[in-house]
Amino acid sequence: MAKLSAIRGFHDSTGDILERIERVEAVARKTLEFACYEPIRLPIVEHSEVFLRGVGHSSDIVQKEMYTFEDASGRSLTLRPEGTAGFIRAYLEHGLYKERPVCKYCYSGPMFRHERPQKGRLRQFHQVGAEAMGVSDPCLDAELITLADRTLRSLGLGEFEIHLNSIGCEACREPFKQDLVAFLQKNCTMLCEDCRQRIVLNPLRVFDCKVCKEAIEKAPVMLEHLCQECLEHFQAVKACLSAFGVDVNINPRIVRGLDYYNRTTFEIYPEEGGAQSVLVAGGRYDGLVETMGGPPTAGIGFALGVERVAERLQQKEKKPDLGVEKPSLAVIALGEQEKPALCRVLTKLWDAGTSAMPVWGPQGLKAKLRFVDKRGFRYALFPSDAGRMILKDMQAGSQSEGPSAETGWIMAHIHTL
């Protein structure tokens, strides 16, 4: 029989790596909830239409990266490739927009994309998402960026850069696209093959290209062709960020991959590193709710890549932060006779709120002590029904004795250091 293995791009996590991942999730969630974003838990599987309509047919995600399958009744279902579309579905389904004109939510969990895995890219990965609905006020754009910034700072994540752009609205983007296409066609010989195709498919994306940097240096830039309203919005976002004390780089090359964005887009990168290292990305999506069958509603959100931030933390934290040494206790049964005594003592310890690891097994004392020592336990307790039992301090090499009938003396020893 073939050996069982995890699916490609789906990882098991333990130890330090898991600790960091959970820390990133916890800190991000706490930062958002502290800022009064309400937690929401969303399904991992949705009807495929949710993503077809929400993410947009033309995106790569929908075209080739979705885990789509049929359930027993023949409905087409999809493992969520991102969070926003499912969130908007819930927002509409439960009429959240009727309940309150303004609402803010945060969530976290796994996302799935069928891409070729590589560094910083998994098929199952995890995001923490934040969405703020119902207000087009530029302060909200700034608020969200600030929260992403605060999350990364709380984690102690060294240096990172926030890149900010505006990709305008439909009104100003269409005329601009025509200008851009004209420029690209004129300079078509300087472009790579991919970019020549982008002229037709999605001209804005040439700004993402790494090889054509020189060729497009003189290309017209959306930021300089914003309509009056979009320009005012963008300037207000910058002003508000400045009031928040958050520094950003204006980067006209930030063009998001998903169809639904308008106006504000932003990405956060570590100081060095390429496209794969985007830690947080987000933007405004004022037309999305309407696209998905709801009333016109402003919205903005971001997603934080948990594994990417955790990976970055690992590079920064040379040694895992052990913190204050915790008293740790192993309870060792020497042989068969001591097992009932172990059960009784262990129950008392756990009931009293003292963490302890039971050690039973066929090994000799030497092996058991080595086992406990290797795992860094400070104390070993040898329970017994015969009147008294022994507590050994592995670090000091000393032993104490106390009555088997009670455990108070053990706790006193452990906590009096």
Partner RNA sequence: GUGAGUGUAGCUCAGUGGCAGAGCACAGGGUUGUGGCCCCUGUGGCCGAGGGUUCAAUCCCCUCCACUCACCCCA
Tell me how far, at minimum, the Cβ of 208 lies from RNA, in Å: 6
374 binds RNA (CB under 7 A): yes
Q: Which residues of 378-416 are buried (b: 16+ CB within 10 A; e: fewer)?
A: bbbbbbbeeeebebbebeeeeeeebebeebeebbebbee
Nearest CB to RNA, comparing residues 387 and 397: 397
By CB under 7 A, residue 335 contacts RNA:
yes
- CA-based Rg of the chain, rounded to a whole angstrom? 28
Dihedrals φ, ψ of 304, to 5°? -110, 130
If one asks whether residue 363 binds RNA (CB under 7 A), the answer comes out as yes
Q: How far apart are CA 169 and CA 260, in angstroms?
A: 11
9 binds RNA (CB under 7 A): yes
Whole-number Å distance between alpha carbons of 365 and 370: 8
Query: According to the binding rule CB under 7 A, does residue 249 interact with RNA?
Result: no
Per CB under 7 A, the segment of 44-52, 176-184, 251-259, 350-358 that binds RNA is: 251-259
> Which residue, 97 or 173, is less far from RNA as judged by CB?
173
Of 41-49, 71-79, 317-325, 367-375, which segment contacts RNA by CB under 7 A? 367-375
Q: Is 118 in the site for RNA (CB under 7 A)?
A: yes
CA 270 to chain CA mean position, Å: 15
DSSP 413: H
- Tell me: does residue 392 bind RNA (CB under 7 A): yes
307 is a contact residue toward RNA (CB under 7 A): yes
Is position 57 an interface residue for RNA (rule: CB under 7 A)?
no
The yes or no reply on residue 400 touching RNA (CB under 7 A) is no
Stretch that binds RNA, among 15-23, 28-36, 54-62, 100-108 (CB under 7 A): 54-62
Report yes or no: 391 and 399 within 8 Å, Cβ to Cβ.
yes
| Residue 96 or 122 with smaller CB distance to RNA | 122
Contacts of 30 (CB under 8 A, 6+ apart): 154
**256 near RNA (CB under 7 A):** yes
Which residue in 41, 319, 366, 415 binds RNA (CB under 7 A)?
A: 366
| 339 C-beta neighbours (distance < 10 Å), count | 14
Residue 323 in contact with RNA, rule: CB under 7 A: no
What part of residues 16-45 is at the interface with RNA (CB under 7 A)? none
When asked if residue 225 is in the footprint of RNA (CB under 7 A), the reply is no
Cα–Cα distance for residue pair 417/413, rounded to 1 Å: 7
In whole angstroms, how close is the CB of 344 to RNA at the nearest point?
17
The answer to the question of residue 109 lying near RNA (CB under 7 A) is: no
**Percentage helix, strand, coil for the chain under 3-state DSSP, each rounded to 5:** 40, 20, 35
Work out the number of other CB atoms within 10 angstroms of the CB of residue 110: 14
Q: Give least dist CB 201 to RNA, A.
A: 9
Q: What's the number of CA atoms in the CB half-sphere (13 Å) around residue 157?
A: 29
* Vertex 265: Cα angle to 308 and 48 (nearest 5): 70
For the four alpha carbons of 82, 87, 92 and 98, in that order, the dihedral sign comes to: negative
The residue range among 39-47, 146-154, 209-217, 313-321 that interacts with RNA, by the rule CB under 7 A, is: 209-217
Give 393's contacts (C-beta < 8 A, 6+ positions apart).
378, 379, 399, 400, 413
Name the residue nearer to RNA (CB basis): 37 or 382: 382
- Decide if residue 110 touches RNA (CB under 7 A): no
Part of the chain binding RNA (CB under 7 A), chosen from 97-105, 150-158, 176-184, 270-278: 270-278
Residues 252 and 165: beta-carbon distance below 8 Å:
yes
Q: Does 149 bind RNA (CB under 7 A)?
A: no
Binding site for RNA (CB under 7 A): 5, 7-9, 59-61, 65, 82, 113, 115-122, 125, 127, 194, 198, 205, 208-211, 256-258, 267, 274-276, 278-281, 303-305, 307-308, 334-335, 363-367, 369-371, 373-374, 382, 390, 392, 394-395, 397, 399
